[in-house]
Amino acid sequence: MAVEVNFDTAYGYKAANDAGCGDLHAAFIVRIGEWLDARGVDWSWYNEFTGDWHGRDVTSMTQRDQYGHLLFGDPPTLICVTTRR
């Protein structure tokens, strides 16, 4: 059995700390990955910008281009906002 989860967020999305849609998607992937890992489920994620599939390794999310821009998003940027109470 397989399950596919897709996120469609407006490119103009901004959180209170100026996090964008890539940060939101990265945070979702990290959180869902943690949930799946806790249940022993094998999973991978797809970067629509590069067309690459990645296994459980989320470190590639924080790779930067030659100008220093994140290629995908920064999970901690939004996780900090979503976990604050």
Position 77 scores a pLDDT of 56
What ranges do the domains of the chain cover?
Answer: 42-85
32: number of Cβ within 10 Å: 15
Position 84 scores a pLDDT of 43
pLDDT in tens, 30-44: 888 888 889 988 888
Distance CA 76, CA 66 (A): 22
Average pLDDT per run of 10 along the chain, which is 85 residues long? 77 79 81 88 82 78 68 58 45
What's the whole-model pTM score? 0.70
Position 82 scores a pLDDT of 47
Q: Could you tell me where the beta strands, DSSP code E, fall in 1-85?
A: 45-47, 52-54
Position 1 scores a pLDDT of 67
Distant-in-sequence, close-in-space partners of 5: CB < 8 Å, separation ≥ 6: 32
